[in-house]
Structures are given as structure tokens and as C-alpha cells.
């Protein structure tokens, strides 16, 4: 770990400028790096062998954070971090994404071994994934919801999430925070054509359910979920597109009282994932 020891006191410092650029998706994709705040996420990144480019510590939190890392990983943590910078408290508060900063911001590289754009998906690929439990998302635009769904997927034991290209960026700071570090070990694919992906899944012998209210919708809990069954969860406000619903062989709804019209997307996804995971 390269530790400069000098305190950064300017927003114009080149390292601070590069860090702040990562709030923008184009900058993240150009550099294949992302940022996140907090000591818990840094701990999870180290545990999961995420490649860490730089860590920024506030001057008052410096010793506390380093003592925590030593206590958790011994001296081994130093080999996991390329560079470490100390930032004055006033500058740190301005660049942090948190309302109550913990004094540590990390830049890490994209996790290409787990998360990728899947440009080719056919029934053969899905046949090879026959033991995987898969959940699909279409147009889930809120980064916090995407992060929460990733967290639930990891907790429930979903093997793979497949996202349409217009879902929120999984490396958005709010998505990373919402995942609580599970992003670092969850397999996630992004596809340009979700309806075609569903069609290929069905060709491989899987049943695919659209989480949508239509004439063929079955109520969750009133039918048997089989191993290999998959479910598609849609946009927070508009649900699934007609194209994706048509590609699915079945539809499913979550029974609910008349006191509410719908669930939050992340809550609905968690309920569906829990039920479909039983199909294992």
C-alpha cells in the first residue's frame, strides 16, 4: 500500500477530482472503477478480494479505520489496497456521499469475474445453468431498489440476477450502499434484450413467470414452484413490458389486502425470490 502521509486540503487535488467524477456513470464505465463510502463496505470488499485502487481517510478517522483493519485482517490488508490518502475533515465532508460520514471512501475496480454484459444467451447456455436459481429484473430504475434486491438475492441464495440494460447501474453509490457489500459476491448479468433472454430460458426447459396481473396470473402460494422456475420483476411504477410478459409462459401475483395497490419493487422481489428459492 502506497501511503503518502500528506494531508489533502484542496478539492482541486487530482486524486479528489478523479474520485468525485465517479458519481457519474460515464466516468465509472470509462475507468471501470466505482466508489463507495463506509468501513463496512471496505471490510466486505477486502474479504471478497475486490481489487481496491485507493482508500481516502479523513484526518480524524485515519487511526480508527487503520486500527479496525489491522484488528480484522492483521497486516494483510495493506497488500489489498493500492494507495491510501488522508484528507482534511472539511474536504472529506464535502466529497462524502453519506449524511454522517464514517471517514473512509474507497475506489475499486469493476468485478468482472462476477458481473458482465451477457451478449450471447441461448438455450444451451441456460441448460448449462440448470442448477442455478435465476431471477430477472426489467427496468428497475432506482439504484437503492437494485441494491436492496441484490442484498436479498444474496441472503436468499439466488445464484444469478439478470438485469435489462436500462436497470439502474449496479455500481451507483446508492446501489452499492443498498447491497451492504453483497454486490461483491453476487453473480449479475446485464442483457440488451430481456424478452429474447426469457424465450431462450424457456427453450432450455425452464418455466418463467412474469410478476404481473393478467388473465393467466396465478396467485403466489396456490401453485407448486419447481426447481429451475424463474421469475421476472418489473419497473417500480409501470411493471413489466408487454413484450416481456408475452415471452413468459406464466404470470404470478402476490396476494395482498385492498388497503394498498402495490409493493415496493425491492419488497416484492424479496417475497418472490423467497418463494421461488423453495423450488430448489
Q: How confident is the model over 243-268, as pLDDT tens digits?
A: 999 999 899 988 888 787 777 889 98
Q: Which residues of the chain have pLDDT under 70?
A: 1-5, 119-120, 279-280
Burial readout 79-106 (b: 16 or more C-beta within 10 A, e: otherwise)? ebbeebbbbeeebbeebbeeeebbbbbb
Q: What is the pLDDT of residues 4-35, one digit of tens each?
A: 668 999 999 999 999 999 999 999 999 999 99
User: Which CATH superfamily groups domain 115-277?
Assistant: SPOUT methyltransferase, trefoil knot domain (3.40.1280.10)
CATH of domain 2-109: 3.30.1330.30
> What is the residue extent of each domain of the chain?
2-109, 115-277
Q: What is the pLDDT of residues 216-240, one digit of tens each?
A: 888 888 888 888 899 999 987 888 9
pTM of model > 0.95: no
Residues near 199 by beta carbon (within 8 Å), at least 6 away in sequence: 247
> Which CB contacts under 8 angstroms, 24+ apart, belong to 25-29?
25/169, 25/171, 25/172, 28/169, 28/171
Distances (CA, A) of 8 to 2, 38, 104, 201: 15, 19, 14, 52
Looking at residue 4, what is its pLDDT? 66
Angular region, 205: left φ>0, alpha ψ -120 to 50, beta rest: left
Amino acid at each position: 500500500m502506497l501511503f503518502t502521509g500528506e494531508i489533502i486540503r484542496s478539492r482541486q487535488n487530482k486524486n479528489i477530482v478523479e474520485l468525485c467524477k465517479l458519481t457519474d456513470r460515464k466516468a465509472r464505465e470509462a475507468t471501470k472503477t466505482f466508489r463507495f463510502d463506509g468501513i463496512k463496505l471496505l471490510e466486505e470488499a477486502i474479504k471478497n478480494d475486490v481489487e481496491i485502487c485507493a482508500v481516502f481517510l479523513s484526518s480524524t478517522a485515519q487511526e480508527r479505520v487503520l486500527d479496525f483493519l489491522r484488528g480484522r485482517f492483521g497486516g494483510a490488508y495493506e497488500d489489498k489496497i493500492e494507495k491510501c490518502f488522508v484528507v482534511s475533515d472539511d474536504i472529506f465532508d464535502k466529497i462524502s456521499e453519506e449524511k454522517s460520514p464514517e471517514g473512509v471512501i474507497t475506489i475499486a475496480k469493476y468485478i468482472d469475474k462476477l458481473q458482465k454484459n451477457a451478449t450471447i444467451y441461448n438455450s444451451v447456455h441456460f441448460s448449462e445453468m440448470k442448477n442455478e436459481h435465476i431471477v430477472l429484473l426489467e427496468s428497475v430504475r432506482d439504484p437503492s431498489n437494485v441494491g436492496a434486491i441484490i442484498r436479498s438475492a444474496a441472503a436468499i441464495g439466488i445464484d444469478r440476477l439478470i438485469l435489462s440494460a436500462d436497470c439502474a447501474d449496479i455500481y451507483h453509490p446508492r446501489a452499492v450502499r443498498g447491497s451492504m457489500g453483497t454486490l461483491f459476491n453476487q453473480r449479475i448479468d446485464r442483457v440488451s434484450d430481456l424478452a429474447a433472454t426469457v424465450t431462450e430460458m424457456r427453450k432450455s426447459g425452464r418455466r418463467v413467470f412474469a410478476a404481473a396481473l393478467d388473465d393467466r396470473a396465478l396467485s403466489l402460494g396456490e401453485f407448486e414452484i419447481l426447481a429451475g422456475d424463474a421469475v421476472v420483476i418489473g419497473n417500480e411504477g409501470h411493471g413489466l413490458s408487454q413484450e416481456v410478459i408475452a415471452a413468459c409462459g406464466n404470470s404470478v401475483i402476490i396476494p395482498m389486502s385492498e388497503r394498498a395497490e402495490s409493493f415496493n419493487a425491492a419488497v416484492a422481489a424479496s417475497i418472490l425470490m423467497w418463494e421461488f428459492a423453495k423450488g430448489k
